[in-house]
Amino acid sequence: SSPRSVDESSIETIVRPFKLNDMNYREIMHLMIEKFKEGLSAKTNPIATVKMFPTYVRSTPKGTEVGDFLALDLGGTNFRVLHIKLDGQDTKMESKIFLIPQKIMSGTGTELFDHIADCIYKFVKEQQLLTHYLPLGFTFSFPCRQEGLDKAILTTWTKGFKCEGVEGENIVELLHAAIKRKGQLNIKCVAVINDTVGALMSCAHSDRMCSIGIILGTGTNACYIERLENVDIWNEDKNEPKQVIINTEWGAFGDDGCLDKILTDYDRQVDKHSINPGKQRFEKTISGMYMGELVRLILEKLRRHKLIFNGVGSEELSTRGRFYTKYVSEIESDIDDSFKNTKQVFQDLNLTNFMVEDCRIAQYVCSTISTRAAYLSAAGTAALIHKMGRSEVTVAVDGSLYRFHPHFHDLMVEKIKALCPLTRFRLMLSHDGSGKGAAIVASCATQEG
Ligand code: ADP
């Protein structure tokens, strides 16, 4: 009953490349397992795309950790400074969000770390902790080659950061130098982790089956517990516990071209216009920094073919990065033909000339893209589950995409079930991983040190 004759088959033609079948996902899972193995082997690691960094975190928490800690959380939209009191299962936490201005994100490393030290100072002063010595856990969510719990060398910036003079450097040294320049602070960074490890540790604090941590936010990444005998690149002590958490950096899966045949022209466009072309190809099919842009590119294509909005767009819809990933969640949350959220999004984008059919089409596009993202995340998760070979596992997941998208969790569960029919698994939302996880690791570090 649509007043226009919409050519469904053309819409279908345009979105079809995003619809992968079960065989595709199974193949992606097997490829991922192969890439994990390449990263873990000393011989192939130097040229491996999935880096499989050992984190120096060897055991999950007992759940009885105590003490006062500071934590920093840097690695995406928000920079946070936190004060955490661990007391067994009772954790108290105060935190403050600071902005990292765009100018600093693409400035120099010195500017970045001076800004961080300023923020720490402001927070510690507000919390009336200036006179206290506090060990600090740093959740630094970028790919780092670690040489110890407190020594992390940044390999490459991702997720829109590009500060000069940090790649190849030990970020703990840069932080300590900035803290020293600032003065008046009695703080020592005792551990660096990334957000995946934070999620895993925070969840393992209350669930001893937890052995995988996944982030689905601005970017995507995963970590898991691996047996030392499988970690050929591990050159440190082989004592008990004979395991180490591996930060996979799976966002870089596909950077060797192994995903090219399942990627679409839209994926190639997103990559081409990103700050890091050719890098983080898996991440760019999934995470919050890119998913909205994929949807926007398809909507623009549909509009040019007069298959949506009667061919009339807006400056906003034509603007790169202007279709936020949160719109995808909002649009997919509409459950009836009133399309309340979808209409709001259209208004936000200054699209005035639309009909109910356009809402339906937009929702269909969003669902196609987010379903592929969820299934790809599931293929990665299934790869980890197979790699570990456990019969039961809890997966800690954090990040706004997973948290707020109305179907992401269910879609992931459905596809993991299909790919790992013999494993009992559950996906658990991890709370405050970047803060609590960092404090837990800092607590272990101070006890051993
Ligand atoms: P981090 O930057 O540390 O990953 P988040 O987990 O909050 O922090 O992720 C932020 C990203 O999540 C943003 O890039 C944004 O694209 C995406 N996002 C924010 N809100 C939503 C939402 N409601 N639904 C889906 N994605 C969202």
State which H helix or E strand residue 226 sits in. strand 220-227
For ligand 1, atom 22, name the residue with the nearest CA: 326
Q: Which atom of ligand 1 is nearest to the CA of 434?
A: 3
For ligand 1, atom 21, name the residue with the nearest CA: 326
For a substitution probing ligand 1, which of 195, 401, 405 has the most ligand atoms within 8 Å of its CB?
401
Distance 65 CA to ligand 1 centre (A): 30
Q: Which atom of ligand 1 is nearest to the CA of 77?
A: 2
For ligand 1, atom 20, name the residue with the nearest CA: 326
Distance 324 CA to ligand 1 centre (A): 9
Q: Which atom of ligand 1 is nearest to the CA of 291?
A: 16
Q: In 3-state terms, what secondary structure has residue 129?
A: coil
* Cis upstream peptide for 241 (omega within 30°): yes
Q: Is 195 a catalytic residue?
A: yes
For ligand 1, atom 1, name the residue with the nearest CA: 76
CB 299 within 8 A of CB 365: yes
Nearest CA-CA partner of 265 in 18, 1, 4: 18
- Tens digit of pLDDT per residue, the chain (449 long)? 444 555 566 999 999 999 999 999 999 999 999 999 999 999 999 999 999 999 999 999 988 999 999 999 998 778 999 999 999 889 999 999 999 999 999 999 999 999 999 999 999 999 999 888 999 999 999 999 999 999 999 999 998 899 999 999 999 999 999 999 999 999 999 999 999 999 999 999 999 999 999 999 999 999 999 999 999 999 999 999 999 999 999 999 999 999 999 999 999 999 999 999 999 999 999 999 999 999 999 999 999 999 999 999 999 999 999 999 999 999 999 999 999 999 999 999 999 989 999 999 999 999 999 999 999 999 999 999 999 999 999 999 999 999 999 999 999 999 999 999 999 999 999 988 999 999 999 998 888 54
Q: Which residues neighbour 210 within 8 Å (Cβ) at sequence distance 6 or greater?
A: 60, 200, 203, 204, 393, 394, 395, 396, 428
Q: Which atom of ligand 1 is nearest to the CA of 75?
A: 3
Q: Residue 448's CB: how many other CB atoms inside 10 A?
A: 9
The neighbouring-strand residues paired with 178 are none
Q: Looking at this predicted complex, what is its ipTM?
A: 0.98
Distance 364 CA to ligand 1 centre (A): 21
Among the listed residues 51, 68, 73, 159, the single catalytic one is: 159
The residue type found at 18 is F
Q: Over the stretch 139-187, which tens digit does the pLDDT of each residue have?
A: 999 999 999 999 999 999 998 899 999 999 999 999 999 999 999 999 9
Is the C-alpha dihedral spanning 158, 77, 218, 345 positive or negative?
Answer: negative
Kindly state the DSSP code that residue 320 receives in the 8-state scheme.
T
Residues constituting the chain = 449
Between the alpha carbon of residue 400 and those of residues 29, 76, 87, 183, 449, the distances in Å are 24, 11, 28, 35, 35
DSSP string for 371-430: HHHHHHHHHHHHHHHHHHT-SEEEEEEESHHHHH-SSHHHHHHHHHHHH-TT-EEEEEEP
Q: Give the C-alpha separation, 35 to 221, whole Å.
A: 14
Q: Over the stretch 60-92, which tens digit does the pLDDT of each residue have?
A: 998 899 999 999 999 877 899 999 999 988 999
Nearest CA-CA partner of 174 in 161, 159, 196, 189: 189
Distance 288 CA to ligand 1 centre (A): 5
For ligand 1, atom 15, name the residue with the nearest CA: 288
Q: Is 255 a catalytic residue?
A: no
Write out residues with Cβ below 6 Å of ligand 1.
Answer: 75-77, 217-218, 288-289, 325-326, 329, 399-401, 404-405
